[in-house]
Amino acid sequence: MPNAKRAVTIKRPETAPVPQSAREPLPLLPDTLRVIPIGGLGEIGRNMTVFEINGKLLIVDCGVLFPEEHHPGVDVILPDFSLVRHRLDDVLGVVLTHGHEDHIGAVPYLLRLKQDIPLIGSGLTLALVEAKLKEHRITPYTLTVAEGQTEQIGPFELEFVAVNHSIPDALAVAIKTVAGVVLHTGDFKMDQLPLDGRLTDLRSFARLGEAGVDLFLVDSTNADVPGFTPLERSIGPVLESVIAKAPRRVIVASFSSHVHRVQQVLDAAHANGRRVALLGRSMVRNMQIAADLGYLRVPEGVLVDFKKAGDIPDEKIVYMSTGSQGEPMAVLSRMANREHQIEVGPGDTVILASSLIPGNENAVYRVINGLTKLGATVVHKGNAKVHVSGHAAAGELLYCYNILKPRNVLPVHGEYRHLVANAQLAVDTGVPRERTIIAEDGTVIDLKNGLARVVGQYDLGFVYVDGTSVGEITESDLKDRRILGEEGFVSIIVVVDPASGHIVVGPEIHAKGFAEDDAVFDAVKPAIAAALAEAAANGVRDPYALQQVVRRVVGRWVSSSFRRRPMIVPVVIEV
């Protein structure tokens, strides 16, 4: 390798049915390309796709999904690596289309399994990944590529194509094999006046289309949005105007990898005679990398260290922070909760310069309400044009379909409604409906002789990261956490005579997160005693069996009396 540097369940589509006799995939034939989306279908995040031909594997992207409210205590959610865990020696490389967390965030967890899997991507993408891996004490093997470059990786010939996105240096990849040609867009849009002058290379798309694209994996995030995504540069004047009118401090929240947005904030602050302090470890790290590589142009004297920002007058400072998605531990949420040393108050202006990731709406509006209650003016996408999407809308996708004329289409990167909308766009441009595959994570698609067909389905799960724990948290654990948070906790301690089964001490009942006083449980104590006596009369002596007796009695009583279903933990002790 050159330059080595040290679940959501959805219905299977009728257009490409899996044989009813088996969900296990059909055997993979020689010179046939197998495509398995591991994540990113039916969800916004966890983007990862595995390609296999003649015994060799290539992975495109390896990202995380951010938890929602029904994932209490979870930090991030990983793709299910079970399909590749025992075939890591066959993995020739991981192609990373760009540097967003939903495409690179799970790389450290994959490389924990085998550290020398080569990573292939653009300069900025690999720099962001290497910084992340450094925290995990992993030094990767990397191959830096650029648009127009071609690399032969085993049976895969890879051609990289420039695409425009909300982060610099994004790449689409054409994967050429004996079975056919696949074009994977990664995340992209078709901004015709991009801030960095880097257009989506439609000429290369047209050339690939003329040669023949057998399978098109295409970003679906905005497929249900009509028209075209607005220009990125339209945001700059709005930010400059908001900052110019702000009487005191300005706090701008965005993704820590959104280099273009940070550039616009730096320029707007400079134009208004303000200085900028970066907040959040990932924001500081990523912008330092972007500046070092020349992707971020920092006006002279604009950046100031956060520790010195307090000495600057309020009307002369802009804070650029993380937390635009309402993440509990991010800077903006801590400000809203008065847990940050920057105390937001009347006269301050907060700008949320990002979109809402589906599932984060409630958390974001909680932050907006909290900041508003503190007296701040909150500017967001709903009341000002302070963000545009990084994903192609329906009009742009139609252009791509008409240019490429793909033989088969697999919409990726989106919730189910996005995938369906994208498939319909393909059909509208002439792709036969039976050649559009609406898949889910784990769907197995084989490509040969210009035909892509579904040949099986793997049952893939979610892998939860909780602190230092990876994959140890189960759905059952999350259910317990949700019950604890929503219904409360009831413990019952009973000491019994093992010979007679009679209660010696108790029952002592205590509740947490239960609105009623513990005294309300006095009513159920006779029922517990009667149930234990009956069990003893029937010869039940096993403490575990007696605990289940107590659990059933208390559970029925709480349900009928209070319409609640708390977690019930009985303890039966023999003396």
Q: Residue 325, class by beta-carbon neighbours within 10 Å (0-12 exposed, 13-18 middle, 19+ buried)?
A: buried
- The pTM (predicted TM-score) of the whole model is 0.79
Angle at 253 between CA 121 and CA 104, to 5 degrees: 20
Give the DSSP per-residue string, 29-57.
PTT-EEEEEEESBSBSS--EEEEEETTEE
Q: Answer yes or no: are the C-beta atoms of 227 and 293 closer than 8 Å.
A: no
In a domain, 341, yes or no: yes
Domain match, 250 and 329 both: yes
Residues 70 and 183 both lie in one domain: yes
Do 404 and 282 sit in the same domain of this protein?
Answer: no
How many domains does the structure of the chain reveal?
A: 3
In a domain, 495, yes or no: yes
Classify residue 15: in a domain, yes or no: no
How would you classify residue 430: left for phi > 0, otherwise alpha for psi between -120 and 50, otherwise beta? left
Same domain for 398 and 373? no
| Residues 368 and 428 both lie in one domain | no
Confidence at residue 12, expressed as pLDDT on a 0 to 100 scale: 35
**54 pLDDT more than 90:** yes
For the stretch 94-104, pLDDT in tens is: 999 999 988 99
Residue 431, in any domain of the structure: yes
What is the model's pLDDT at position 554? 80
418 & 362 share domain: no
The answer to whether 405 and 211 are in contact (CB under 8 A) is no
- Give the pLDDT confidence score for residue 397 in this predicted structure: 97
Is the pLDDT reported for residue 135 higher than 70? yes
pLDDT confidence of residue 205: 97
- Percent of the chain at pLDDT > 70 equals 86
Task: Tell me 232's DSSP state.
Answer: G
In a domain, residue 414? The reply is: yes
pLDDT tens string 13-24: 333 443 333 378
> Mean pLDDT: which of 107-121, 310-324, 545-559 is highest?
107-121
Q: Does a structural domain hold residue 218? A: yes
pLDDT (0 to 100) of residue 523: 75
- Boundary (domain end) residue, out of 414, 436, 465: 465
CATH of the domain at 346: 3.40.50.10710
Higher pLDDT, 22 or 337: 337
pLDDT at residue 505 in the model: 75
In this predicted model, which residue has the larger pLDDT, 46 or 543? 46
Using the predicted structure, report yes or no on whether residue 430 has a pLDDT greater than 90: yes
Query: Would you say 352 and 204 are in contact if contact means Cβ atoms under 8 Å apart?
Result: no
Same domain? For 256 and 108 the reply is no
- Reply yes or no on whether the pLDDT at 427 is more than 50: yes
pLDDT score for 382: 73
pLDDT-derived band at 517 (thresholds 50, 70, 90) equals low
Place of tokens 């007058």: 313
Q: Is 168 helix (H, G, I), strand (E, B) or coil?
A: coil
Q: Does 483 have pLDDT greater than 80?
A: no
User: What is the model's pLDDT at position 5?
Assistant: 38
> CA 212 → CA 105, 189, 258, 364, 430, distances in Å?
33, 22, 34, 44, 15
Kindly state whether residues 247 and 356 are assigned to the same domain: yes
Segment among 83-97, 171-185, 272-286 with least mean pLDDT: 272-286
Strand partners, 217: 184, 410
Q: Which CATH number goes with the domain that contains 556?
A: 3.10.20.580
Query: 452 to each of 20, 53, 214, how far by Cα in Å?
Result: 18, 14, 8
Stretch (H or E) spanning 309: helix 306-309
pLDDT greater than 50 at residue 338: yes
| Paired sense of beta strands 119-121 and 91-95, if any | parallel
Where does a domain end: 379, 407, 436?
A: 379
- Looking at the structure, tell me whether residues 52 and 182 fall in a common domain: yes
- What CATH number has the domain bearing residue 94? 3.60.15.10
Q: What is the largest CA-CA distance in the chain?
A: 86
The three-point CA angle 220-223-229 to 5° equals 105
Domain extent at residue 334: 232-379
Q: Where are the beta strands (DSSP E) in 290-352?
A: 317-321, 349-352
Question: Over pLDDT 90: what percentage of the chain?
Answer: 50
Same domain, 323 and 452: no
- Check whether residue 223 and residue 266 sit in a common domain: no
79 and 215 belong to one structural domain: yes
Q: How far is C-alpha 265 from the chain's CA centre? A: 25
